[in-house]
Amino acid sequence: MNFREREVKLAYIKEAIECIAFGTAVGLGVYGFFLFFHIAIFGWNLGLIFAPLAAGYAETYMANRIIGEDIGAISAFILFIYTTFYSFILKNPTLGINIITIGSIAVILQAAFPTLINYILLVGGLGIVSYLLGIFSRITKFISNNIKKIYYRIVHNEEYQIKNETTPVFDEKKSNERINSQNFYYATTTDINTKRLRNIGQFHATAIIEKDKHLIHVDQEKAELITLNRLKEGKDECLIKLSENIKSAGGNGVLNLKIDYGLIGLGGDRYQITAMGMGICLK
């Protein structure tokens, strides 16, 4: 690390510490306010939620203004430690383990670390469930196949043939040939040097594909492969639509072709694939 880099890093650390200190001060202020006015539900002070939230928000706001990026709401973590120590250990050491306490801890954790907790719940949790379901599915299939094998051997006196699960396949070669064998020029460049051409206008084509709505998959990899294959099919469909649009306008090619993928619909429940470019007539 050279001197200049070290200087920049030290300045960054200094600004980050200032932002954390500001966030912590705001959080402590909010916590003090809630304690002073006894704003509580069932004897449980709401400052435990709002103090880390306010600290994280204030720190993030300052960091975005001064440094230009989020530094991770570290003051929320400090407030979480402080409020938990103050409320649960110092002021109320006899607090027992019950539903209210566990619920309170869960809410505090959620308030202090929203990103991490959401990841644990939505990604980690669902991922673990999917993984366990996958193992369960493989065990049940193994048992079922062995029972069938024994049954066929005893009753039918023949070997039972295990049916292998088919992996979804997308024929890349066939797709490539299909796209490039329509007597139509697809070019991502803005010009085709060797040809004389006439521009006939800008063209668009869109394909909408329904998204897989299942939250949990027994075989995650297979589900992702199916999604990818559907996107590839959608892209082919979109390119063919674009070529048909241009052909119907008297063209036989497209320049500066762009393919975009995005989400559309309520809560992004569909994939949108768009192909666009300048329609041309090659002479």
Binding site for other proteins (CB under 8 A): 70-74, 77, 113, 115-116, 118-120, 122-124, 126-128, 131, 172-173, 176, 179-180, 185-195, 211, 215, 220-221, 223-224, 227-228, 231-232, 235, 239, 257-263, 268, 271
Write down the least CB distance from residue 253 to other proteins, Å.
9
Cβ pair 175, 232 in contact under 8 A: yes
The residue type at 65: R
Nearer to other proteins, 94 or 194 (CB): 194
Write down the least CB distance from residue 225 to other proteins, Å.
8
The Cα–Cα gap between 36 and 33 comes to: 5
The Cα–Cα gap between 208 and 235 comes to: 10
**Is 168 in a helix, a strand, or coil?**
coil
Q: How many residues in the chain?
A: 283
Write down the least CB distance from residue 234 to other proteins, Å.
11
Kindly give the pairing relationship between strand 44-45 and strand 197-210: unpaired
Write down the least CB distance from residue 231 to other proteins, Å.
7
Nearer to other proteins, 66 or 179 (CB): 179
Nearer to other proteins, 79 or 235 (CB): 235
Write down the least CB distance from residue 145 to other proteins, Å.
28
Q: How many CB atoms lie within 10 A of CB 188?
A: 11
Nearer to other proteins, 45 or 280 (CB): 280
CA 186 vs CA 190, 195, 244, 257: distances in Å: 11, 13, 12, 7
Nearer to other proteins, 149 or 211 (CB): 211
Write down the least CB distance from residue 28 to other proteins, Å.
21
Nearer to other proteins, 7 or 221 (CB): 221
Nearer to other proteins, 32 or 262 (CB): 262
Q: Tokens 């200094």 — which residue?
A: 14
Nearer to other proteins, 34 or 239 (CB): 239
Taking phi over 0 as left and psi of -120 to 50 as alpha, with beta for the rest, 243 belongs to alpha
Write down the least CB distance from residue 228 to other proteins, Å.
4
Q: φ, ψ for residue 163 (rounded to 5)?
A: -80, 120
**Is 202 in a helix, a strand, or coil?**
strand
Write down the least CB distance from residue 72 to other proteins, Å.
4
Supply angle C-alpha 232, 236, 237, rounded to 5: 115
